[in-house]
């Protein structure tokens, strides 16, 4: 089975980091297919950037969906997730969604730990979008801004471990999610230093993609995620425009 | 004061319909500035289309924001709203948001009435995004699909009135929102036939825009809607790319 | 258009303060009509006092409603709001309601800042009554009691600014509401010192009243805010008693 | 122990009905002290009337509280409850509150059955005020209006039984509350005809009053229901005015 | 009337403590019948132990229910409560449930104070199970583990008082519940030292049991707590097995 | 990897049915280890039976956990889940939990379809326990009781398909969960007849177990699911008693 690891940002090194962090948990027959956005931003850190990145996600899936069995949207905050799920026939999973649903099986309440408090608003919206606010023990970010995402993981390792430990102690959190693509792989490194299970979102998402591929759910012909009707558009990227134009309303099929 | 009535769809007749529906409620000194998307879809009816349309909203505001005092995003479902609010310094209001907040002052629970049940999922997400699920008495759509949006309002007038009356009777709804840009102006036509106050979203939004312009709130230098830091991007529309590139982090200012 | 600024307390200076704070944001054709309670308490600070004050609100509107186009209940906590909305045909808006709904258009979560923690319980009930608990980032009060409300604003200015800043930093609040009629006008004075938009409830309410007057919603003949049936009463203030006695059940009209 | 059965309406026959309905469940040493409002409305059926009635409740307790051990506010919807609880030192219980809390011990979700759908809005607010919306399976009213409350119980007995049965079958409700003072005693009459436990609010409230008297909770000197500070008022009923004027701030005591 | 005070733990001294703590509030004709588990754990402090203890509760009620009028499950967290309520015809009340419902009549929000933070997770689940999370101001535990429950109350008295005071001050809590069977009777001892009403769960539960016995609700033949159908089982304790085997489906009765 | 498929009921044919239904989706290296309760009830259909069955789950895991890598509790409603998760070091997954979390990745709202409305109460509690009420579009059961569970799936196939289709149409549900162990395998049979993705809980649970085994989360030494302290017990099944007695408090480790 082939899983598209779709990075809606333009930073190739982060894509590579995520492939590396999830390769070891992937099943024998799983091939991870990396895809990095050719246009967009180096990394998404606000609602506005997620709005832009989410539209780019749709273009990218329109281009690649025929050659893979499932898509993982590999940016925390799940840009474009609900739209992609509606539009395409193969499973689409967001890494924050996968992380939170996995956390739900490891305790009642999870905490998010991120590189900066700058992400808090967007991440809070994301938890709310998934209806999981009641299971979230808090969102914690380092008190910093940063302009490069290279090496952020190692440079901030001690501070992130301290933040995670504090969340567990202060909020009685049952698990920790390291939220943010540049943190991929960190969970493994600090596993023994944090007194609760830690979820690496990209690793969780690859496993959820494998699960959905095996379960082979049909595309909904009814319900709120039914395949949309075809539409003519103007000025959209070619692959996306073509995909939308050929959608048939197979609702009655 | 100048209010941008931004239609993220490409159908100019709907923009005109909305201007017409709100002109009569606008204050003396208010100028409504119409803007119709040059690229995109003829109308948004799904989550995927809202994701695309929302990114187009950002491009359009990047282009127009310097010459207006506030922006109304004139598509039901508020595509791009939170991102736009974060990114720009002037007030940005969505028509569903304005309709629902106005409805909150006319009773405890409002019902949405729409042209098709096809919108239900996206509209439900929108109510939830605004945290107003507890004040929503239901979402009602006609049991139809449609391919043109010309004349939908008049063709379905009787059916929409019946739907609204049913919602009031079955759910004890305190007010009705006609949800969907192509329904602009309908509220006025059927005012006396529906036994509860009716809200026309575009009219409500123009009044809210006037209110915010008068109140002149400052752009947040802190909090989750603070002005984002500048970023370099690749392949984004020129106006948007330039706007994002010049953002200064004035947080400490 | 004439808007009744109804202070259900007996302190005339606070009415004057509110008129002053909202005059500058009112539209050209708006006349603000002040009305101060002739009986009641100097200011409302508890649930019990709000219960009493809310009944006085109804008496006052019964007396004045025929000569105005809308009513603003100018006491934080919105005493008598839902009853007044049900009973009278013109729009009735509470200043806390108007402040919170306005805040909803300036970010996802607002914080309340008040003169004393003594108001917390009543204000918390008020947020809950409006179904906006999910959008409230916290209620903050100064740790003091006070017996006079004269000059409280200036005397506590520095402490209130510090409280507001703390709320933004600790809770990632997107906006601040200065809650309490004696704080009217403060928002304007400290606008540049607080790093988020600040809402002055009376100013917000006047703009919402103008909006509702322009939108001209009909009085509901059905739904839970329909005009009540007429009733005979004993020992109520004359204006209120007369008003209730002449209500016709126009539900079928 | 003496329990004040306070009817904030002016209809003495309803007071008598409630005394009769609860006498048989009262403990040996319990004396039920009836008190009917001397001013106000014959019965409360709207939010506005509850606002007025709630203020009358405070006057009545101010007059009577020294000679009783607890107060039952004997009108469905609990007018004046939170204010009274805050203001006075003895336990104050509302009949809807007592009914719902009792229902919570008889199953997960209760349904309300009332004389008219006209009460729905106010009763819905009441469930919400008590934070019990998640445990309410629905509010059901007869599709009628009525002008007299004499004999409503017997005249509508069959229709009410049918409504209750329907609620249980349609909503899987675990218990039924007959909501409305004029329905006092009905639960007993139809006990065997309705396939779930039925709660008679006044009976439940008398038992809760006895429970609180026995538990003897202290009046809170802190928290949001602490005894308010004394205040001078103008034009309030003498007993209430005097009571409020002599309140000492015993917070530190 | 005879009330079974069922301790699902094996520690007889705790049963005795609870009888002593509630005897003084019981009504004249009430006989408290103590029953201590013959098998199980010395005390329940986790979800797993509550699962085991809850099954033991059912065995114990199967054995004793014919000779009593109501059952109080006397372990905080209410192990086995919903199952017991479904299975048996007499009222069954949990001490946490009784404490929280009683607290609801003494203010809007209660805080739990417990011997150890180790209970937090299970207690949080319990508040949630009862749908009362919105009325809970927090759960506070001493920062300790303990292996014996003898004398824990006196040894920790000062620390518990401090914890309760802190909860009231920090969270504006309206009442305090001393959560945990070994704390029975503590409320009375420290009544004057804590500035809010304190609820002793076992005392509250005895009063609620008396109330339900007096109200004499029928066993539901319908709804989600209807008497289950009879079933054959293997290897269950004799009394429980026999009870389940003889249940008739009296739904239509 | 070895996954224990633990049926807490005594009906071996249902265990076999579940193994069969999930074998085809299991990964190459997965061995499904069936285990049927030796004591208990033939099937669980009430809260009381779930309480008993949940304690039996703990006994069974205590016996088997050393020879497997994860446990699936194979009874809808997840009896004993939270306790088992707390008590043991390997992943424990409930089939309802797995089904609902999987459904969350296939749309916003799922509906449950069950053999009988008799399960509604218990299943509703289960959705609530997982904090997923906001994502549940309804619980639907056939209007029947039944005494045997043999062949229920085939006998009711048409009725269940009709129920599922009705849920999708009436509630705009995005996916269907066939709730109940005796329905294992049905999803596959009717896949093409129901216009939305269908989730087979046991199949979903096996995939989630594989995912958790691959992710290898550590057992929490802190948080509310930390390994409990050792305890001495009386009269518990030998394996469970021995397991609990040897637990070390490794919190500080």
Instruction: Give tens-digit pLDDT for B30-51.
Output: 999 999 999 999 999 999 999 9
Give ranges for CATH 3.40.50.12500 in chain F. 2-96+205-246, 106-199
Would you state the pLDDT for residue B251?
45
- What confidence tier does A253 reach under pLDDT thresholds 50, 70, 90? very low
Q: E127, E125, E183, E123: which is closest to E153 by C-alpha?
A: E183
| Half-sphere exposure of residue E228: CA atoms within 13 angstroms, side-chain side | 27
Q: Mean pLDDT check: name the lowest of A135-149, C11-25, D109-123.
A: A135-149
Say which residues have a Cβ less than 8 Å from residue A60's Cβ, sequence separation at least 6.
A6, A8, A35, A37
Question: A78: left (phi > 0), else alpha (psi -120 to 50), else beta?
Answer: left
Interchain pair E108, C117: CB under 8 A: no
Nearest CB neighbour to B41, from listed A51, A86, A231: A231
Distance from CA of A179 to the nearest CA of C (A): 18
Whether the Cβ atoms of residue C122 and residue C50 lie closer than 8 Å to each other = yes
- The answer on pLDDT for D147 being more than 80 is no
Distance from CA of E76 to the nearest CA of C (A): 28
Would you state the pLDDT for residue D251?
45
Give ranges for CATH 3.40.50.12500 in chain D. 2-96+205-246, 107-198
Would you state the pLDDT for residue B253?
40
D&F contacts, CB < 8 Å: 9
Would you state the pLDDT for residue C251?
46
In CATH, the number for domain D2-96+205-246 is 3.40.50.12500
Q: For B167-223, how does the pLDDT look when each residue is reduced to its tens digit (9 = 90+)?
A: 999 999 999 999 999 999 999 999 999 999 999 999 999 999 999 999 999 998 899
Q: D90, A220, B159, A113: which is closest to F173 by C-alpha?
A: A220
Per-residue pLDDT of chain E (253 residues; tens, 9 = 90+): 999 999 999 999 999 999 999 999 999 999 999 999 999 999 999 999 999 999 999 999 999 999 999 999 999 999 999 999 999 999 999 999 999 999 999 999 999 999 999 899 999 999 999 999 999 999 999 987 666 777 888 899 999 999 999 999 999 999 999 999 999 999 999 999 999 999 999 999 999 999 999 999 999 889 999 999 999 999 999 999 999 999 975 544 4
Distance from CA of F81 to the nearest CA of E (A): 9
CATH 3.30.2080.10 correct for B108-197 = no
Interchain pair B25, C215: CB under 8 A: yes
CA dist F238 and F236 (Å) reads 6
Query: If residue F2 lies in a helix (H) or strand (E), which one and from where to where?
Result: strand F2-7
Would you state the pLDDT for residue E251?
45
Domain covering A108-199, topology: Rossmann fold (3.40.50)
Would you state the pLDDT for residue E193?
97
Distance from CA of F8 to the nearest CA of A (A): 19
What are the CA-CA distances from residue B67 to residues B70, B230, E133 (Å)? 9, 22, 49
Would you state the pLDDT for residue B249?
57
Strand duo A175-179 + A136-141: pairing? unpaired
Interchain pair C132, B131: CB under 8 A: yes
Would you state the pLDDT for residue A147?
62
Would you state the structure tokens that stand for residue A192, as one six-digit string? 């023994």
- The answer on pLDDT for D38 being more than 60 is yes
Interchain pair F172, B125: CB under 8 A: no
| C-alpha torsion sign, points B91, B94, B97, B102 | positive
DSSP state letter for B67: G
Would you state the structure tokens that stand for residue C119, as one six-digit string? 């108001």
Domain covering C107-198, topology: Rossmann fold (3.40.50)
Residue E49 contacts F, CB cutoff 8 Å:
yes
Would you state the structure tokens that stand for residue B121, as one six-digit string? 């999922």
Interchain pair E174, C125: CB under 8 A: no
Say which residues have a Cβ less than 8 Å from residue F72's Cβ, sequence separation at least 6.
F3, F4, F5, F6, F93, F94, F95, F98, F202, F205, F206, F209
Residue D170 contacts B, CB cutoff 8 Å:
no
Would you state the pLDDT for residue B146?
66
- The answer on pLDDT for D250 being more than 80 is no
Interchain pair B108, D117: CB under 8 A: no
Interchain pair E172, C125: CB under 8 A: no
| Chain C: residue whose CA lies nearest to A125 | C108
Q: Mean of the per-residue pLDDT values for chain F?
A: 94
Would you state the structure tokens that stand for residue C225, as one six-digit string? 């805010």
Residue B173 contacts C, CB cutoff 8 Å:
yes
> Chains meeting A at 3+ CB pairs closer than 8 A?
B, C, E, F
* Percent of chain B clearing pLDDT 70 (strictly above): 96
Would you state the pLDDT for residue D249?
57
Distance from CA of B176 to the nearest CA of A (A): 22
In CATH, the number for domain F106-199 is 3.40.50.12500
Say which residues have a Cβ less than 8 Å from residue F220's Cβ, sequence separation at least 6.
A106, A107, A174, A175, A195, A196, A197, F226, F227
Interchain pair B234, A10: CB under 8 A: yes
CA dist C219 and C227 (Å) reads 7
CA dist F249 and E45 (Å) reads 14
Whether the Cβ atoms of residue B82 and residue B57 lie closer than 8 Å to each other = no
Would you state the structure tokens that stand for residue E209, as one six-digit string? 């049991």
Whether the Cβ atoms of residue E3 and residue E95 lie closer than 8 Å to each other = no
Low-confidence ranges of chain F (pLDDT < 50): 251-253
Would you state the pLDDT for residue A146?
66
Say which residues have a Cβ less than 8 Å from residue A10's Cβ, sequence separation at least 6.
A36, A37, A38, A39, A40, A41, A42, B234
* Rg of the Cα atoms in chain E: 18
On chain E, the residues whose CB falls within 8 A of the CB of F49 are: 83, 228, 231
Residue A31 contacts E, CB cutoff 8 Å:
no
| Chain E: residue whose CA lies nearest to A174 | E121
CA dist E87 and E81 (Å) reads 10
Residues 115-144 on A with a CB inside 8 Å of E are none
Interchain pair D173, E101: CB under 8 A: no
Query: If residue C136 lies in a helix (H) or strand (E), which one and from where to where?
Result: strand C136-141
B&F contacts, CB < 8 Å: 9
CA dist B108 and B90 (Å) reads 30
CA dist B79 and F179 (Å) reads 36
Neighbouring CB atoms inside 10 A of B153's CB total 19
> Which of D121, D136, D143 best tests the B interface by mutation, with the highest count of B CBs <10 A?
D121
Q: For C107-164, how does the pLDDT look when each residue is reduced to its tens digit (9 = 90+)?
A: 999 999 999 998 999 999 999 999 999 999 999 999 876 667 778 888 999 999 999 9
Domain covering C2-96+205-245, topology: Rossmann fold (3.40.50)
Q: C223, C188, C222: which is closest to C203 by C-alpha?
A: C188
Would you state the structure tokens that stand for residue D113, as one six-digit string? 């059955």
Give ranges for CATH 3.40.50.12500 in chain C. 2-96+205-245, 107-198
Neighbouring CB atoms inside 10 A of D205's CB total 30
On chain E, the residues whose CB falls within 8 A of the CB of D217 are: 106, 175, 197-199
> Chains meeting F at 3+ CB pairs closer than 8 A?
A, B, D, E
Whether the Cβ atoms of residue C173 and residue C137 lie closer than 8 Å to each other = yes
Whether the Cβ atoms of residue D7 and residue D20 lie closer than 8 Å to each other = no
* Rg of the Cα atoms in chain D: 18
Q: Mean of the per-residue pLDDT values for chain C?
A: 94
> Chains meeting E at 3+ CB pairs closer than 8 A?
A, C, D, F
Q: For B80-126, how does the pLDDT look when each residue is reduced to its tens digit (9 = 90+)?
A: 999 999 999 999 999 999 999 999 999 999 999 999 998 999 999 99
On chain F, the residues whose CB falls within 8 A of the CB of E233 are: 39-42
Question: B77: left (phi > 0), else alpha (psi -120 to 50), else beta?
Answer: left
Give the residue-averaged pLDDT of A80-95. 98
Say which residues have a Cβ less than 8 Å from residue A209's Cβ, sequence separation at least 6.
A3, A69, A70, A71, A72, A91, A93, A98
Residues 208-247 on A with a CB inside 8 Å of C are none
Q: Is D29 exposed, middle or buried (0-12, 13-18, 19+ CB in 10 A)?
A: exposed
Neighbouring CB atoms inside 10 A of A188's CB total 14
- The answer on pLDDT for D6 being more than 90 is yes
- The answer on pLDDT for A251 being more than 80 is no
Give this complex's ipTM.
0.96
| C-alpha torsion sign, points B139, B143, B146, B149 | negative
Q: C131, E134, B131: which is closest to D124 by C-alpha?
A: C131
CA dist C177 and C183 (Å) reads 10
Would you state the pLDDT for residue E46?
94
> Which of B47, B126, B139, B147 best tests the A interface by mutation, with the highest count of A CBs <10 A?
B47
Give ranges for CATH 3.40.50.12500 in chain B. 2-96+206-246, 108-197
CA dist C202 and C200 (Å) reads 6
Give ranges for CATH 3.40.50.12500 in chain A. 2-96+205-246, 108-199
Q: Mean of the per-residue pLDDT values for chain B?
A: 94
Interchain pair C10, D234: CB under 8 A: yes
Would you state the structure tokens that stand for residue E41, as one six-digit string? 């754990």
Q: B9, B72, B17: which is closest to B41 by C-alpha?
A: B9
């Amino acid at each position: 089975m082939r899983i598209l690891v779709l990075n809606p940002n333009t930073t190739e090194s982060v894509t590579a980091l995520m492939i590396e962090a999830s390769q070891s948990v992937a099943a024998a027959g799983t091939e991870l297919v990396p895809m990095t956005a050719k246009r967009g931003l180096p990394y998404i850190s606000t609602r506005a950037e997620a709005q832009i990145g989410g539209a780019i996600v749709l273009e990218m899936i329109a281009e690649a969906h025929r050659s893979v069995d499932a898509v993982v949207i590999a940016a925390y905050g799940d840009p474009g997730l609900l739209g992609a799920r509606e539009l395409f026939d193969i499973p689409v999973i967001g890494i924050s969604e996968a992380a939170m649903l996995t956390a739900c099986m490891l305790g009642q309440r999870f905490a998010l730990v991120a590189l900066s408090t700058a992400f808090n608003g967007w991440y809070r919206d994301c938890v709310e979008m998934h209806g999981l606010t009641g299971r979230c023990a808090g969102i914690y970010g380092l008190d910093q801004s940063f302009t490069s995402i290279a090496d952020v993981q190692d440079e901030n390792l001690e501070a992130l471990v301290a933040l995670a430990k504090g969340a567990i102690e202060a909020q009685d959190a049952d698990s920790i999610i390291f939220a943010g693509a540049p943190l991929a792989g960190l969970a493994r490194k600090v596993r023994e230093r944090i007194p609760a299970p830690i979820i690496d979102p990209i690793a969780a998402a690859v496993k959820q993609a494998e699960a959905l591929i095996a379960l082979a759910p049909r595309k909904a012909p009814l319900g709120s995620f039914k395949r949309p009707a075809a539409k003519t558009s103007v000025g959209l990227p070619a692959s996306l425009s073509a995909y939308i134009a050929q959608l048939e309303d197979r609702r009655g099929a």
